[in-house]
Structure 1
Amino acid sequence: MALTKEQTQHFYHKLLHMQKELSGEKKKTQSMTEEVGELSNGVDNHMADHGTLVTDRMTDQTVKEIDRELLEEVNHALQKIKDGTYGICEKTCQDIPYERLEAVPYARMTVEAQADVEDDLETDAPSFEREFHQQVKDLSNKETIDQKSSQTYEILDREQDSN
């Protein structure tokens, strides 16, 4: 069943709020040389301090990339509202259920079509690319972000054990 005008307006405002949040003022980070310079000026600095700095920087960059991609999806959804194609699956041309749009307002496809596309990507992508996408999912998944059970932590543990 197609979305009503009121439902579309609800999602339009929700997407505008997301767009504002994602494109708002981001925390200003120091340049890597400034941060390393501060650490190298001290006498008692440990190598782990530098490792922590690099890890934090990599995490920040990953989160910024995820935010940038999410902002692109939100902008795409807003354009689809203007075009009158919002809420229609890009793969099957079926209506995307209201509940899915409520959970993921920028969804381009139904759950089934999205799963098919992800399965195709996983089987076609090289192993390093699949691993990277899993790491990004781990970093952006609230359930695994602080857990040692994620694939990202397993990879880091393996690398540390091999050293």
Structure 2
Amino acid sequence: MALTKEQTQHFYHKLLHMQKELSGEKKKTQSMTEEVGELSNGVDNHMADHGTLVTDRMTDQTVKEIDRELLEEVNHALQKIKDGTYGICEKTGQAIPYERLEAVPYARMTVEAQADVEDDLETDAPSFEREFHQQVKDLSNKETIDQKSSQTYEILDREQDSN
């Protein structure tokens, strides 16, 4: 069922809000040399302090990259609203259910079409990429996040045992 004008306006405003949040002023991060300089001036700095600094920096970069990609998706969805194609699956041409758009307003496909695309990517990907995607799924899956039964934990245990 196609979206009503009111529903489309609702998603338009929701996407604009997301766009504003994603493109808003981000906190300015110190350069790596400034941060390392601050650590090296201390007397009892531990190597772990430097490791934490690097990990924090990598985390910040990852979050920025995710925000950038999400902003691209939001902008794409806003363009689809302008073109009159918003809410239509890019793979099947079917209407994307309202509930899915409410959860993911920048969705390009129905859940079924998205799952098919992800399955195709998984089977076409090299084995290390498939393993990585499975690990990400394990770490974000609410059922396995606190369990040691996931593939990710098995790999970590094997690596730890080999050391």
State the TM-score bracket (shorter-chain normalisation).
Answer: 0.7 to 0.9
Once residues 139 and 73 of structure 1 are traced to their aligned partners in structure 2, the CA distance between those partners, rounded to angstroms, is: 24
**What runs of 5+ residues in structure 2 fail to find an aligned partner?**
none
Once residues 50 and 144 of structure 2 are traced to their aligned partners in structure 1, the CA distance between those partners, rounded to angstroms, is: 25
- Pick closer, same or farther for the CA change 1:142–1:45 going to 2, 3 Å: farther
CA drift of 1:151 comes to 7.1
Q: Counterpart in 2 of 1:70?
A: 70
CA drift of 1:124 comes to 1.1
CA drift of 1:125 comes to 1.2
Q: Report the 3-state secondary structure (helix = DSSP H, G, I; strand = E; otherwise coil) of the residue aligned with 1:148.
A: coil
**What runs of 5+ residues in structure 1 fail to find an aligned partner?**
none
- Pick closer, same or farther for the CA change 1:158–1:38 going to 2, 3 Å: farther
Identity %: 99
CA drift of 1:26 comes to 0.5
Contact 1:62 1:136 in 2 (8 A): no
- Pick closer, same or farther for the CA change 1:84–1:111 going to 2, 3 Å: same
Once residues 133 and 56 of structure 1 are traced to their aligned partners in structure 2, the CA distance between those partners, rounded to angstroms, is: 22
CA drift of 1:123 comes to 1.3
Q: Report the 3-state secondary structure (helix = DSSP H, G, I; strand = E; otherwise coil) of the residue aligned with 2:16.
A: helix
Any idea what the Cα deviations from partners look like across 1:60-104, whole Å, max 9, x if unmatched?
111111111000000000000000000000000000000000000
How big is the alpha-carbon RMSD for the aligned residues of Structure 1 and Structure 2?
2.9
Runs of 4+ in 1 over 4 A off after TM superposition: 131-163
- Pick closer, same or farther for the CA change 1:117–1:15 going to 2, 3 Å: same
Any idea what the Cα deviations from partners look like across 1:6-47, whole Å, max 9, x if unmatched?
000000000000000000011111111111111111120000
Once residues 105 and 31 of structure 2 are traced to their aligned partners in structure 1, the CA distance between those partners, rounded to angstroms, is: 35
- Pick closer, same or farther for the CA change 1:71–1:160 going to 2, 3 Å: farther
Contact 1:63 1:140 in 2 (8 A): no
Once residues 104 and 130 of structure 2 are traced to their aligned partners in structure 1, the CA distance between those partners, rounded to angstroms, is: 23
Structure with higher Rg: it is 2
Contact 1:77 1:86 in 2 (8 A): yes
TM-score between both structures, scaled by the size of structure 1: 0.85
- Pick closer, same or farther for the CA change 1:127–1:21 going to 2, 3 Å: same
- Pick closer, same or farther for the CA change 1:92–1:100 going to 2, 3 Å: same
- Pick closer, same or farther for the CA change 1:10–1:150 going to 2, 3 Å: farther
Once residues 145 and 64 of structure 2 are traced to their aligned partners in structure 1, the CA distance between those partners, rounded to angstroms, is: 15
Aligned length: 163
Once residues 159 and 63 of structure 1 are traced to their aligned partners in structure 2, the CA distance between those partners, rounded to angstroms, is: 27
CA drift of 1:127 comes to 3.0
TM-score between both structures, scaled by the size of structure 2: 0.85
Q: Report the 3-state secondary structure (helix = DSSP H, G, I; strand = E; otherwise coil) of the residue aligned with 1:69.
A: helix
